[in-house]
Structure formats: C-alpha cells, structure tokens
Amino acid sequence: AQSVTQPDARVTVSEGASLQLRCKYSYSGTPYLFWYVQYPRQGLQLLLKYYSGDPVVQGVNGFEAEFSKSNSSFHLRKASVHWSDSAVYFCVLGGLRSNNRIFFGDGTQLVVKP
Amino acid sequence: DPKIIQKPKYLVAVTGSEKILICEQYLGHNAMYWYRQSAKKPLEFMFSYSYQKLMDNQTASSRFQPQSSKKNHLDLQITALKPDDSATYFCASSPGTGRTNERLFFGHGTKLSVL
C-alpha cells in the first residue's frame, strides 16, 4: 500500500540554524515525490519535486531534498532558516502504480524562533 | 494576482442548509481538484476532474457534489450541512490530465463554519 509518513508533527528551530524535515514513503514502484509549503491562511505552494536522476533536488528559497531509495525517504533540508520559513510543510507521493492518486503526509509545522 | 479564485473566502452556514463553493482557474489547466483541510485531517483529497469529467471520488458522502459548467470551473455543492463539515476547502488544478507527476496549484481556500 502507498503511504507517506512525516514523523514530526512540529519542529522548532532558531533562526539561522539548519533544518531537516523528515519524510518516509511506502511505494513499490518508482515514486514521484514533492514537498509543498503552506503559509498561514494560504493554499499550498510547491517547493520542489523529484521524478528521477540526481537524488538531491534543489527548490525555491534555498530548500533542497534528498531522495533515498534504500531508506524510502525524501527529507527536506535548509542550511539556514529564516523566520519567514515558519509554515506547514507537506511531503507528497505519487506514482504510476497508485491508480492516479497522490498521497499527502500529515504535515510538519515548522516554527522558527528569532 | 491569484490565478485560482475561490469564492467566498469565508462562509458561515446553519446545520441542514446547502452551500456552493466556487472555484475558477485562469491557468489554462485541464485537471481540477477539491481538497479539505480540518483539525482532524490535515489534507484530505475529495475529487478530481479532467476535461470536465470525474476522474476520482474519495468522498464517501453524496452530500458533496462537484459541478463543472466550464473547463476552468469546478464548484462544490454541499447539502444538508453538518458541523463536522466545518473545514477549509481548497481547490487546485494541474496542467495535464491529472497524472500523479503533475505539480498542483492551489487556491487560497474557502473556510466553512457550520453552526
């Protein structure tokens, strides 16, 4: 069965610190993986996506994510967070064997302290 | 300048009433979707449409009916409203036919409160 797990409901970091938000997926085929961000009172916006190739993908605003097939993971990273990065981050899984459905993780709320 | 317009932004309804949530996209996309976000479930897929045809329905209740009068419109009619329907409803679209490798573009949502 296909699924996405974001094990951390909430992560708090200080401004300027590095960040990793975890995402684990379960999928038997080749996954399509996305990270979306939701700022307060807004819809979701795409940060980055992975289809194939280089396992490290770059996104907007200095975010990157690394795909690991062996670990079934797609963790999001940023070297130095800013207070404006405070938001909810969703990891999303799709794939050709998923009956054309995509699967959202439960989201991780990121709080950046000044 | 938002390319996916959801109306209204906020909606208060009485239990048992009926409401229609409006969604129009001006991105030229072929696929449109409805998602629901509440305290109980962070983001829940409801419906997907491609070229105005229903592709997928994961909403158990028939009280929720999508309506597509034009390719760039996908409204959501909700009948016999219940307090549990209180949530923010997001409309989204994607450029292709709704395949799972497509980027989704989201509207800002309609926050529905049922009293």
Structural element, H or E, at residue B10:
strand B10-13
pLDDT higher than 80, residue B93 = yes
Give yes or no for A42 touching B (CB within 8 A).
Answer: yes
Q: What type of residue is A60?
A: V
In this structure, is the dihedral angle defined by the CA atoms of residues B23, B25, B30 and B36, taken in order, positive or negative?
negative
Q: What is the pLDDT of residue B1?
A: 64
pLDDT in tens, A83-105: 999 999 999 998 766 566 788 99
pLDDT in tens, B71-87: 899 999 999 999 999 99
* Residue A20, phi then psi, degrees to nearest 5: -135, 125
* Residue B73, phi then psi, degrees to nearest 5: -120, 135
pLDDT in tens, B10-66: 999 999 999 999 999 999 999 999 999 998 888 889 999 989 999 889 888 999 999
DSSP state of B104: P
Instruction: Please tell me whether residue A17 adopts helix, strand or coil conformation.
Output: coil
Give yes or no for B40 touching A (CB within 8 A).
Answer: no
Q: What is the pLDDT of residue A99?
A: 64
Q: Which residues of B touch A4 (CB under 8 A)?
A: none
**Nearest CA-CA partner of A105 in A26, A30, A29:** A26
Contact B90 A44 (CB under 8 A): yes
Distance (Å) from the alpha carbon of B69 to chain A's nearest alpha carbon: 24
Average pLDDT, chain A: 93
Q: What is the pLDDT of residue B30?
A: 92
Distance (Å) from the alpha carbon of B17 to chain A's nearest alpha carbon: 25
Distances in Å between the Cα of A70 and the Cα atoms of A26, A96, B32 are 11, 20, 34
Cα separation, B26 vs A57, in Å, equals: 29
pLDDT in tens, A51-74: 989 999 999 999 999 999 999 999
Q: What is the pLDDT of residue B2?
A: 74
